[in-house]
């Protein structure tokens, strides 16, 4: 099949979160299964800088929103997947990130930036572009930034375009919806009749994400549990009614991880390497991490965190019990940024207990790998988590995750108890509800197992032997495509 994979970020070209990891790995896995996949991405400066074998393909003009757009072809630098970048300097060539300016505010012209992006994806999907020799069978959209694509495809098809691709929308996080004032409907060249409840209208606004949910041929989420959760009031963020009406079109497919990028046996960021059968190197990595974070170099249980520091990630609960954990003999190694109050709180904890708590505010790729490998357990108590990748990295690195029973965390981590230790399914520790006392009790239970070396070794090995690759998930996506 010919698949156009439409995404606003893809690692290693540009990354702000898990969407980039998926977009960097899933297309490659689909190509390994023999399918013709091309990534479509905005031409941010980082994208145009990192693309390999880059060359202009053709201009697309005129568009209803901008004077001209140039398609630039290239390849991903790590796996050779073909890429089409939408080059439009007035929209994408600027300082700042893909969605936010240098001061951390949303770009005011995000509607037109991602409206253009979605429109170009639709043109490619309906054979109305300079690439008429390559028309996809499937256009796979991701999150709100490409959410208008299924709507454009729907109306292009209705107005007599050649046979258009079938559209798939993947929801990576429903909380981000791309909602804008209603006057953008006309400005983005959408028909007036689209602005209604049975369309893209959402509480008096134009919603890019609702457009994708309503007009796409089918919907996927990044884990089976999240597919069910978003149909409830608690996790539906106002869209649960529409999602429930489309429940038979929703497919929950658990993300995989890049098993080459995240591999303790060859990770260039680690002082020593190890695998499930040879774990001695993990002890050396722990010592190096303790030294890096200025922690006491002893055998205290070391709890690792690599995360956005936000209430959604449950890190306020960890801060609430931080002193108790330290007083009970544990260490903390924390890397992340986000909520100013949480950043300040963790800094204060490290100042009060400098040998037991190390905190680095910001993003550091090397340190994230070192924490994942050097910590004894990985703390990820999210209040909701569509999929999550860090808990899988923890499994891969022999660092059992402590998680909440929600979304992809529930689908990927199996609680360690007498039954699961016997049948070989124990891989981590799962708390039933997000509350500080539950988190404390779950960590205490994990520490009790940590102090039983033979049992702890079994939990580590169970997790490290999990097949976390994209192979199985890619096959599930192919079945979804084939059903269309």
pLDDT tens for residues 170-194?
A: 999 999 999 999 999 999 999 999 9
Instruction: Please provide residue 426's backbone torsions phi and psi, each rounded to the nearest 5 degrees.
Output: -70, 125
Say if residue 240 is in the same domain as residue 285: no
Residue 263 lies in a domain: no
3-state secondary structure of 250: strand
Residue 384 lies in a domain: yes
The CATH number of whichever domain residue 167 belongs to comes to 3.40.50.2000
> Which element (helix H / strand E) includes 124?
helix 110-125
Tell me the C-alpha distance between 405 and 418, whole Å.
19
Say if residue 478 is in the same domain as residue 440: no
> Residue 205 sits in which domain range?
2-256+471-483
Tell me the C-alpha distance between 246 and 198, whole Å.
12
Which residues touch 356 (CB under 8 Å, ≥6 apart)?
A: 295, 296, 300, 326, 330, 331, 332
26-57 pLDDT per residue, tens:
999 999 999 999 999 999 999 999 999 999 99
Residue 388 lies in a domain: yes
pLDDT, position 293? 98
For tokens 């509350």, the residue is 435
Say if residue 116 is in the same domain as residue 94: yes
Say if residue 421 is in the same domain as residue 478: no
Say if residue 308 is in the same domain as residue 243: no
CB 212 within 8 A of CB 147: yes
Inter-axis angle of helices 208-215 and 148-158, nearest 10: 50
Task: Kindly tell me if the per-residue pLDDT of 221 is higher than 70.
Answer: yes
Confidence of residue 385 (pLDDT cuts 50, 70, 90): very high
CA dist list (Å): 401 to 259, 276, 388, 422, 425: 18, 16, 11, 19, 14
Residue 272 lies in a domain: no
- The pLDDT of 282-297, averaged and rounded, is 98
**0.85 cut: is pTM over it?**
yes
- The pLDDT of 387-410, averaged and rounded, is 97
Say if residue 336 is in the same domain as residue 451: yes
Say if residue 313 is in the same domain as residue 222: no
Pairing of strands 357-361, 331-338: parallel
pLDDT, position 64? 72
Residue 112 lies in a domain: yes
Say if residue 10 is in the same domain as residue 35: yes
CB 189 within 8 A of CB 65: yes
Tell me the C-alpha distance between 61 and 134, whole Å.
19
Say if residue 448 is in the same domain as residue 475: no
Instruction: Please provide residue 360's backbone torsions phi and psi, each rounded to the nearest 5 degrees.
Output: -120, 120
Residue 269 lies in a domain: no
Task: Kindly tell me if the per-residue pLDDT of 132 is higher than 70.
Answer: no
Say if residue 62 is in the same domain as residue 201: yes
Say if residue 243 is in the same domain as residue 307: no
Task: Kindly tell me if the per-residue pLDDT of 130 is higher than 80.
Answer: no
pLDDT, position 145? 98
Nearest residue to 57 via CA among 42, 68, 73: 73
Confidence of residue 237 (pLDDT cuts 50, 70, 90): very high
Say if residue 404 is in the same domain as residue 424: yes
Could you give the number of structural domains in the chain?
Answer: 2
Residue 265 lies in a domain: no
pLDDT, position 65? 73
Residue 262 lies in a domain: no
Nearest residue to 27 via CA among 4, 44, 50, 49: 4
The radius of gyration of the chain's CA atoms, rounded to the nearest angstrom, is: 23
pLDDT, position 160? 74
Which residues touch 198 (CB under 8 Å, ≥6 apart)?
A: 214
pLDDT, position 95? 93
Confidence of residue 358 (pLDDT cuts 50, 70, 90): very high
- On average, the pLDDT of the chain sits at 95
């Amino acid at each position: 099949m010919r698949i156009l994979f439409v995404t606003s970020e893809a690692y290693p070209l540009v990354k702000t979160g898990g969407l980039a990891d998926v977009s960097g790995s899933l297309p490659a896995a689909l190509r390994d299964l023999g399918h013709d996949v091309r990534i479509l991405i905005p031409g941010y400066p980082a994208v145009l800088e990192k693309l390999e074998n880059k060359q202009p393909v053709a201009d697309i003009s005129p568009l209803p929103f901008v004077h001209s757009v140039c398609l630039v072809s290239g390849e991903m630098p790590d796996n050779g997947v073909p890429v089409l970048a939408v080059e439009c300097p007035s929209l994408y060539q600027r300082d700042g990130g893909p969605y936010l300016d240098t001061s951390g505010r949303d770009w005011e012209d995000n509607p037109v930036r991602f409206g253009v992006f979605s429109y170009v994806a639709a043109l490619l999907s309906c054979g109305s572009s300079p690439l008429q020799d390559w028309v996809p069978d499937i256009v796979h959209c991701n999150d709100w930034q490409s959410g208008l694509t299924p709507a454009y495809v729907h109306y292009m098809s209705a107005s007599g375009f050649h046979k258009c691709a079938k559209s798939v929308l993947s929801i990576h996080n429903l909380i981000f919806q791309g909602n804008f004032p209603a006057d953008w409907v006309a400005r983005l060249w959408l028909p007036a009749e689209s602005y209604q409840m049975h369309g893209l209208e959402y509480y008096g606004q134009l919603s890019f994400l609702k457009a994708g949910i309503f007009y796409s041929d089918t919907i996927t989420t990044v884990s089976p549990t999240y597919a069910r959760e978003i149909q409830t009031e608690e996790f539906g963020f106002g869209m649960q009614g529409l999602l429930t009406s489309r429940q038979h079109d929703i497919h929950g497919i658990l993300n995989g991880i890049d098993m080459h990028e995240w591999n303790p046996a060859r990770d260039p960021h680690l002082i020593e390497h190890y695998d499930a059968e040879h774990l001695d190197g993990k002890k050396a990595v722990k010592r190096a991490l303790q030294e890096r974070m200025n922690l006491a170099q002893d055998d205290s249980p070391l709890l690792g965190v690599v995360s956005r520091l936000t209430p959604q990630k449950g890190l306020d609960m960890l801060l609430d019990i931080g002193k108790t954990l330290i007083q009970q003999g544990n260490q903390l190694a924390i890397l992340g940024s986000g909520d100013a109050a949480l950043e300040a709180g963790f800094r204060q904890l490290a100042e009060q207990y400098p040998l037991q708590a190390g905190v680095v505010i910001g993003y550091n790729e090397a340190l994230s790998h070192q924490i994942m490998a050097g910590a004894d357990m990985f703390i990820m108590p999210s209040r909701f988590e569509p999929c999550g990748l860090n808990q899988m990295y923890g499994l891969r690195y022999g660092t059992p995750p402590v998680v909440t029973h929600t979304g992809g965390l529930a689908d990927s981590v199996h609680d360690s108890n007498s039954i699961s230790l016997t049948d070989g399914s124990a891989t981590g520790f799962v708390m039933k509800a997000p509350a500080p006392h539950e988190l404390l009790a779950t960590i205490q239970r994990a520490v009790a197992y940590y102090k039983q070396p033979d049992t702890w070794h079994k939990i580590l090995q169970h997790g490290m032997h999990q097949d976390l690759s994209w192979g199985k998930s890619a096959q599930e996506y192919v079945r979804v495509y084939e059903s269309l």
